[in-house]
Amino acid sequence: MFPLGFRVRQTRPFLRDYRFLTRYPGRLNSKTMRILLTNDDGVYAPGLAALGQQLRHLGEVIVVAPATEQSGVGHSITYLTPLVPKSIHREGRHWAWAVEGSPADCVKLALSELFIDEPIDLVVSGINSGLNAGINVLYSGTVAAAIEGAFFGVTSVAVSLERDEDADFDAAAVTARKVIGQLVEHEETAGGLFNLNIPTAATSSTNEVKIVPMGLAQYGRRYEKRQDPGGRDYYWALWTEPDNAPEEMTDLIQLRKGNTTLTPLHFNLTRHELLDQMQDWAIRG
């Protein structure tokens, strides 16, 4: 059930009193950062391991990730079943906490319970296998985990790599570590939410990081209709091009050009410019 070299042990009741990992020598701003690492591909995903290895250069890395793959779950959270963290051992020592829940569950549980007495300085989600760009961020469990971190006022970064059979997660993790290290040096990023996407082309050479907005073009609007042997209809989602071409300076186009993209996001969905106008509409119930 579990990969070679891993051992699972259920947590003890007083989880927060357990000393998870030794502190790493990497320091930033004269302080060892405590970094919460999660993902949506599951605790055994290669992207998680690669990113964790690199983030150790920035501080202490604490892994709390879904026990199974949670791709495309968005910002779902668990209400009707308990969340049970399990200790995953690697090479004879604790390596991560696996949670039977969503990426947002992992972050919410970590920040509000598991590490409430040992504050987290940075939340990083990834590396996801597959880009999370444009409006697809709204479907993404990877981005949702970062959003959950931002809910708590913790600087949060989602990291995704273009899907490829020979995806180089190690190289992408180096890029992510460099970008994140530079990002958190700026005070303006405190408590902020960021989406980092790395195309396959960018893992083989040093390239420019484009700071761009998310594209709004809608991909994948079509389904292919089929029938099962019983004559019942079923549908396969298709990856189709948008009706209107994306704008040039957006994450979608820059990724196609082989550039790494970084986008500042926020979770406040209020449309403020219309909010003021609506005050005069005298709408009644």
Point out the annotated binding site for a divalent metal cation: 40-41, 71, 128
For the chain, what is the HEC assignment? CCCCCEEEEECCCCHHHCCCCCCCCCCECCECEEEEEECCCCCCCHHHHHHHHHHCCCEEEEEEEECCCCCCCCCCCCCCCCCCEEEEEECCEEEEEEECCCHHHHHHHHHHHHCCCCCCCEEEEEEEECCCCHHHHHCCHHHHHHHHHHHCCCEEEEEEECCCCCCCHHHHHHHHHHHHHHHCCCHHHCCCEEEEEECHHHHCCCCCEEECCCCCCCCCCCEEEEECCCCCEEEEECCCCCCCCCCCCCHHHHHHCCCEEEEEECCCCCCHHHHHHHCCCCCCC
Pick out the residues of the known binding site: 40-41, 71, 128
